[in-house]
Amino acid sequence: MNFNDLLIFRTVVQAGSFSKAAAELNYSQSNISMKIQNLEELYNVTFFYRGHRGIRLTAKGEQFYEIVLKMLYLHEKSFEMLHDTGEKKGVLRIGSMETTAALHLPTLLTNFHKSYAQIELTISTSTSTENIERLENYELDGAFVVGPVYKEHVIAKEFINEELVIISSIQHKPIENLQDIENCTLITFRHGCSYRAIFEHWLHEDGVQPKKRMEFGTLDGIIGCVAAGLGVTLLPRAIAEKYIASQPLAIHVLATKQTHIPTWFIYRQDDFQPPALTYFIDSILAYQQLQK
């Protein structure tokens, strides 16, 4: 067994089939099947159920998948650790919600780059749910999410506290309670967005059932449709204030709800913490001091 065999195993699991993994890795399907069979023979364990509907992991396969994710991650990071000469180099993969990326990351990343210009930093935006899952799968080193996050071996540090407000077009009548938007269209990010989950919880709590919903994958799409009067959304006040100079938006505060919600920076509690991640956490602390 070598690390390439583990990479093949991970790709098969994530692709969901031998044929898709073969296409992704530019291997023949028979080669992929043989590699997986060799792994199963090595451990004397069946990792996949094989059937007409495709493949799925056995219980032992799921355990092995978690081990493989960590082994591949540590293999990658071992080079950073062994070649760390104090030059502050490395690779860092950070996940973020779109709102956090729009509001806070420009300043944070500018300051980080000034101090650690040789660190290769990748930022990807997604929902909190997806960011948490990607962190657990070792696809990210850290992520900004809305919690709480109750995951074993995941550390959560409060990053910033946001005030959530309802945002509408400027022509919309005042919104004092959720009953005022019962006939409005809800405009939100897709499932997995924490702000959407909070909004839906509030609506359910107050017995309000909006008749229509619209989902968008981008913040600009949501704001544009809200400004055009197509519906309302729930987002941090700072987002509305960022766009209000250029878009006809109105802000509505719900006095009956707990609207101050923390954003957390999360990372795994591993035996080995990459130096680049340590530097990034230091930059977060410096950014927080600037906000005070």
Q: Residue 149's pLDDT band (boundaries 50, 70, 90)?
A: confident
Do residue 200 and residue 60 come from a single domain?
no
Which residue, among 101, 113, 241, has the nearest Cα to 159 in the 3D structure? 101
Strand pairing class (212-216; 260-268) = unpaired
Output the domain CATH number for residue 207. 3.40.190.10
Considering the domain boundaries, does residue 249 fall inside one? yes
Asked, for residue 223, whether it belongs to a domain, the answer is: yes
CB atoms within 10 A of CB 100: 23
Q: How far apart are alpha carbons 190 and 193 in whole angstroms?
A: 6
Q: Considering 69, 103, 125, which residue would you say is the last residue of a domain?
A: 69
What pLDDT is recorded for position 226? 96
Q: Are residues 154 and 269 in the same domain?
A: yes
151 shares a domain with 118: yes
Which of 11, 40, 69 terminates a domain? The answer is 69
- pLDDT over threshold 90, residue 155: yes
Residue 74 within a domain: no
pLDDT tens digits along 159-206: 999 999 999 999 999 999 999 998 899 999 989 999 999 999 999 999
Whether residue 246 sits in one domain with residue 170: yes
Among 45, 69, 93, identify where a domain stops.
Answer: 69
> Cα–Cα distance between 237 and 142 in angstroms, integer?
25
Angle at 134 between CA 132 and CA 139, to 5 degrees: 140
Let me know whether 165 and 280 are in one domain: no
| Structural domain includes residue 199 | yes
> How many structural domains comprise the chain?
3
Q: Does 76 fall in a domain?
A: no
Segments forming the whole domain that contains residue 235: 161-261
Task: Please check whether residues 11 and 27 belong to one and the same domain.
Answer: yes
Whole-structure pTM value? 0.80
Q: What is the CATH number of the domain that holds 50?
A: 1.10.10.10
Contacts 24+ apart (CB under 8 A), 4-12: 5/35, 5/38, 5/39, 6/68, 6/71, 6/72, 7/72, 8/32, 8/35, 8/36, 9/35, 9/36, 9/39, 9/47, 9/64, 9/65, 9/68, 10/65, 10/68, 10/69, 10/72, 12/36, 12/48, 12/55
The yes-or-no verdict on residue 245 having pLDDT over 90 is no
- pLDDT per residue as tens digits for the range 200-241: 999 999 999 888 999 998 999 999 999 999 999 999 999 999
**171 in the same domain as 124:** no
Q: Is the pLDDT of residue 63 over 80?
A: yes
